[in-house]
Each structure stands twice: as structure tokens, then as C-alpha cells.
Amino acid sequence: MAPSFWGREARAGGVGGGGMGNGGGTPVVVKMENPNWSISEVEPTDVDPGSPAAGKAGRGKNARQITWVLLLKAHRAAGRLTGAASAALAVAAAARRRVAVGRTDSDAAPGESTALRTRSYLLIRAFLLLSVLLLAVEVAAYFQGWHLQMPELPAGFSAEEGLVAIDGLFAAAYAGWMRVRLQYLAPPLQFLTNSCVVLFMIQSVDRLVLCLGCLWIKLKGIKPVPLAADKDDVEAGADDFPMVLVQMPMCNEREVYQQSIGAICNLDWPRSNFLVQVLDDSDDATTSALIKEEVEKWQREGVHIVYRHRVIRDGYKAGNLKSAMNCSYVKDYEYVVIFDADFQPQADFLKRAMPHFKGKDDVGLVQARWSFINNDENLLTRLQNINLCFHFEVEQQVNGTFLNFFGFNGTAGVWRIKALEDSGGWMERTTVEDMDIAVRAHLKGWKFLYLNDVECQCELPESYEAYRKQQHRWHSGPMQLFRLCFVDIIKSKIGFWKKCNLIFLFFLLRKLILPFYSFTLFCVILPMTMFVPEAELPAWVVCYVPVTMSIMSILPAPKSFPFIVPYLLFENTMSVTKFNAMVSGLFQLGSAYEWVVTKKSGRSSEGDLVALVEKHSAPQRVGSAPNLDALAKEGSLPKKDAAKKKQKHNRIYRKELALSFLLLTAAARSVLSAQGVHFYFLLFQGISFLVMGLDLIGEQVE
């Protein structure tokens, strides 16, 4: 509250007559709402403008009022400094705990291959040791007063003659190093640099064209329109409510199965016209029992829902879907909708998606957009949200509008069963079965529609470990698929330009070239040019173009603009994982076939739960209530097994940590040659790798 003298003066002003005649200042209302305090002036309404009191009040604020304002501002600044200091101490404490525990990514999960990861780490560590050695040499040469860069030499002069005051064995060795650097290292490094810059510019032009296409769609209001408006009358013809099969593939999804099954069973569609298949691949008996009992509850509510469990998980998700499509009753259905275990569609999802098939016999897929329940949970989810907003708002929408083709996202999509069968059905040959079926359907001439205004809620990975494994699968699978379907693309009957789009844009540019140049240019070439300064990387490549590309990427998520710098650094840091995955998929290495289910936290927005309670009657709410008996059974498990299942921890990622020290070493070297832009980029990028290497960006397990 305000100081006591302020209250006395306010009361004196009110008693002395004239409202403010004796108050000596402008009344101020102080709103003390933590953490921010605000001030608003109260204008006098009962003072004669010509009176002396009004003139005195208008000349300025009372000195005590100004002092109070300054104190409030100082308090706010001190609070922010305290918060920043507390955050820094918390980060330091987490890093210290991480180092003390010593758990690294070399501790592989069962069935996980670490051969390629170990080789990559050893190679990066060798470069790190070499860079430290070269930095020590350059620092010694700098303090000796020798030139750190070769001068322009006339023809016939050697490197030794270009140095100043060379004497001694060390000076001669340094002169030899400069000659090797100039004649043998700089030319191939400069060629590699120029090649990556060209690839970088091609990819930047591609992103610019996508953004311009999205702008054109917005300006013209282009979007898919069904031929006939949807009808709410359930007595309408069969064409308005076709038979729909809803599939929910899941594996050990204990955290999310209940809310997702509830959302799908409450879809606004005639119950006689849709069937829900819960396809459980869980290898945990307790989780399977919980899911099965939840299905039985909804069966008692009158929902057509069946539970299928595979003991042997052949083919992972693709094998699960393929097995479900072999059921005899599938022939009674015309469309199939796929929702992953953490997806919660709105009740009107089918009524907004299905009309787009009516009268369009060549449409094989209708894809909806994802929205995220936990997009502001931590820094990692915020940065993922930027990426995925660009993917759906720009990439999917532009490709769907102008090409009628895009990569199926694996969930929140409706397939015409005839299109699936015509394309050969689900195949287990890659870890991206969704992209596989989309490419094969495109080669058969089927068209895809993308609905940007139909959203389906889901979760983002909250831990760096889960996100890292997800990205590895997403970037190794496309290279596997490219090897397998390249000949089919060439032999297909689609148009020449569609073949070019598939090969050069869809696969090579966005799936191979993008991770290649991101890692090579910013994590390999840039540090090397600091130690071989004869090969130059222009500042506009390091700073201006990446910032411009980041601004374009962040436009679909305007609330994320404060995170533009972390986003730029984050993308370069993730290029290591993506490059490693791309290489493993391209050359069919062991880690390319790893399939790790992305861990879910089971978060659900409070608004959705309230809406669900208000919309449905008590019996339906009971149907989705927690299964206390099953949870009690779960609690009776042996403590050892329970502890094993619930164990979570953060790791140290050696590859990111080694690259952090490599970039920081290169930043120190750039100081000697006074390269300002390169220094700041290397410094902050090195810090970014350090944060990721210590697993400080996502969920923190205490």
C-alpha cells in the first residue's frame, strides 16, 4: 500500500473543502498487482479552472508523487534483476547436477543403435582437439607479432618471405603451416563454401516462393470449398453421412489414451455410420488393460468401438494399420480417418472434412491442421511451434492449393479407402509410412486437399530427448523412401513437372540439401574458415540471409517474434541431429530403422475439459471417468517394475557438447582476426550448443 503520509494528505484534501484545495497535488491510484505495479492519475472534476488551487495543481506533480513513481520503477527493475539472477542460478545448478550425475546419450535404450552416433562424436572430438591446438599456435604467433593472414605476394615469392621477422624453428614451422593453408587447404575449403552458399541461396529462394504463395492465398481468399453445404439433419441421404472407419494406433500411450478416446467417441456423426478401431500395440500389460477397459465403457454407452491388440509389433505403426485394414468388416466402409493417440479432434471434425470428398472422385486425402495444447510449456515447445506453424500455414497450404500434393502428416487426415488400396496399402519398408503412402498415391494420380481452418489438438514433445528421437525418425525416413521410390517416380505416368517437384523439391532440396548445408555451412565450414582465413565466408551469409529466413519462418506465428534469435540458433543446433539422420537413411545405416514412440505428458487444456462437461450428459461423463479400479491394480505392481517404468532423467549429449567447445574455440580465434559478425555468431551458436548438450532447453527432471 502507499505510504501513510499519502493517506493523510488525501484525507486532508477531502475535509478542507474544494476536494483538492489543500491536497497539494494530483491524486494517484496505485494498483499493486504482483508482479507489476501500475499508476493512474485521477483528474479533478470539482475544481474551478480559474481558481488558485487548479493553477497550483496544473504546474506539476508533487515531489512526493514523483518520488513514489521512481520507487515503483526501481522496485520493478529490482524484481526483474532478481528474477534473472534466480533463473541464471537455477540453470547453473541444473548444469552442475547434470555433470555430477554423468548420464550421457551413450547410455542406449534397448534395441537402439549407437554406432553412427559414436563415430560422429569421435570425429567431432578430433576436430575439437585439432582446433584447440591450432588456437594455441595462432595465439602464440599473435603475441610474437607475426601476421595471422597471408599478405598479397608477388609471383615467385614463398610464404616464408611474406612473414615479418621470422627466426627460429617455431617461426619456420608456422611459415610452413601458412604455406599449406594457402596452397592446399584454402582452395578446396573455398570451393565447398561456395557450393554450400549456392545451396543455401536456392533453399532461401524456395522458402521465399512458398511465403509469396501463402500471401497470394491470403489475399485472394483461396481455400478448398465443398461442392455441397453440409447438412445437420441426420435423416439426410447416405451421401451426406458416408460410412467412416476411425483408427487410433497407439503404443504404451498411458498418459493420453483416455482423453483421446473420449474426444473421438464424441464426434458429431451418426453412430451407425462410423466405427472406432483402437489399435493397441502396447507391450505393457497394465496399459493394455486400462485401454481395453476404457473401450468397454464406451461400448456400454452405445458407441461402435472395438479394441485390437497385437502381441508382435511387426512393422510398427504401418504394420498396425495394415493389420487393421485386413479385417473383414472394413469392406463396409468408404473412408478411414487416422488419429494418433494424443490427438483430440473437435466434435464437428467429420462434418467439416467429409463434404470435400463429395463429387470429387479423384480426391484421395483430406488433411487437417494440427494445433498444440502445450505450445507455451517451455522454450523447446515454443520453438517447435514456430516450425510447425510454418509447415502447416505455408508449406502444406501452398502445396495443397497449387499442386494438390503434400506429405501426409500421419494423423488428423481422412483417406478414401479406394485410394489406399489402389496405392498398395500400408508398407513397413520405412519409418515414414505416412509419406510413403502419400507418394505412392500421388504417383497413381490421386489429389490431396489441405484444410487450414480445420484443426485437431495434439501435444508437442516437452523433453529434448523425445524431440531429438522424433526428428531423427522424421529425417532418416525420407531418405530411405527416396532410395526405394526413385525408379518408381521416373517410370510413373504423372507429368514431367510433377516428377521434377517430387525429386528436386520434395526430396532433394527439402529433405537432403537443407540438413546438409545447415550443418556443413554453419557447424563445419564457418569454424574452419576461422583457422583457414584465406577461405572466406561473407558476413551476409552468416547474418543477414539467415535472419531474413527466420523472419519469414516466424510470420505464421507472430506471437513468437521475441524468440526469433533463439529460433535461429535452435535450427542450426538441430541440424546436427537432422544431418546424422539424413546420412543414416541415405546409406541405410542401422539407426535409420529405429522407431521410438514419442513420449507424451497427457496435458489437456482446461477449456476443453469444461466444454466437454457442459456438452455431454452425466452418463457420458461417467463413461470417460478415470478407471480407479485399474489404477489400483497398477498400484499393486512390484515396486521395482513401477520404478523402472516411471524413471525419467536428463542426459548430457556429447556430440552437441563437443560442437559447443569447437564453436567457442573458433569464436576465440575470430577475435584475433577481428571478425565481428563471425565472432558473435560463433559465440551465441556455441552457447546454444552448450545449452542443448547439457539438456537445459526442455523438460527438467528434478
Q: Which residues are catalytic?
A: 281, 434
Q: Where are the beta strands (DSSP E) in 499-629?
A: none
Segment holding 382, helix H or strand E: helix 379-390
Total residue count of the chain as it appears in this document? 702
Quote the CA–CA distance of 533 and 525 in Å, as a whole number: 11
What DSSP string describes 59-100? T---HHHHHHHHHHHHHHHHHHHHHHHHHHHHHHHHHHHHHH
Quote the CA–CA distance of 123 and 519 in Å, as a whole number: 14
Rg (CA), the chain: 32
Specify the DSSP class assigned to residue 21.
T
Quote the CA–CA distance of 549 and 553 in Å, as a whole number: 6
As to burial, measured by CB atoms within 10 angstroms (0-12 exposed, 13-18 middle, 19+ buried), residue 137 is: middle
Angle at which helices 169-180 and 115-143 cross, to 10°: 130
Write down the H helix ranges in 144-239.
159-162, 169-180, 186-220
**Contact in structure between 413 and 454 (CB atoms under 8 Å):** no
Quote the CA–CA distance of 615 and 623 in Å, as a whole number: 14
Quote the CA–CA distance of 336 and 412 in Å, as a whole number: 11
Exposure letters 643-663 (e unless 16+ CB within 10 A, then b): eeeeeeebbbbbbbbbbbbbb
Q: Which of 514, 214, 224 is nearest to 391 (CA)?
A: 214
Residue 698 C-alpha cell reads as: 526442455
Specify the DSSP class assigned to residue 440.
H
**Contact in structure between 248 and 279 (CB atoms under 8 Å):** yes
Q: Nearest 5°: phi and psi at 236?
A: -65, 175
